Amino acid sequence: MPAFGTGPVSAATTLTCGESTPLIFYSGGVSSSGWLSAYKTGATRAVAAACACAVVLSGCSGLSKPAGGRGAAVDPRTGPPNYLACLRSNRLTVSEQGHNTLQVGSLPSGPTIVFEPTAGIAEGQQIQGKAQGAEVIGAALLYPNHAPGAQLTVVENCLGQGVAEPKEPGA
């Protein structure tokens, strides 16, 4: 005789209840004691209550906290530092083009300034050859076009506000 009796019912009895207790499962469903059906109803209620609590608690957290985020987006042209004000205070005619570009004077003679999100991106644009002819000053790409030297000096000084000079290795 096998260790667990003969047939599936005997094996189930041995594994779940032992020989001395009545069968819990049989081919027709639950045993005549009916305790399993009460267990199923209680378990269903517990799961439903847990789900309801989760929904209520997740809804409450949205009401108690203000909207998150990293704050308002800063226009790179106006600050801080306010490059546009600096250029205009030096009596340069400047027009805003798009959300990240300034045109000093008019093309083809006036310089164009394109602001990237970070100084690293501006540098990467130049290294990859996507900003040919541009000078990188912080997060700005300065395209000189055919601007006179004195005008470029003023533009470079304004764009240099807040830009730290790179340190020499070993210094």
Say how far apart CA 62 and CA 43 lie, in whole Å: 29
- Report the candidate in 170, 142, 171, 139 with the shortest Cα–Cα distance to residue 156: 142
Confidence of residue 103 (pLDDT cuts 50, 70, 90): very high
Coil, strand, or helix at residue 107?
coil
Nearest to 83 by CA among 105, 70, 101: 101
Sheet holding 101-104, edge to edge: 94-97, 101-104, 112-115, 140-143, 135-137
**pLDDT at position 66, please?**
58
Task: Choose among 88, 121, 89, 118: nearest CA to 102.
Answer: 88
pLDDT digit string (tens) for 11-21? 555 455 455 55
Rounded Cα distance between 46 and 101, Å, is 60
CB 60 within 8 A of CB 54: no
pLDDT tens-place string over residues 74-94: 777 777 788 999 999 999 999
With contact defined as beta carbons under 8 Å apart, do 77 and 96 qualify?
yes
Read off the pLDDT of residues 108-153 as tens digits, 9 standing for 90 and up: 889 999 999 989 999 999 999 898 899 999 999 999 999 999 999 9
Average pLDDT, the chain: 75
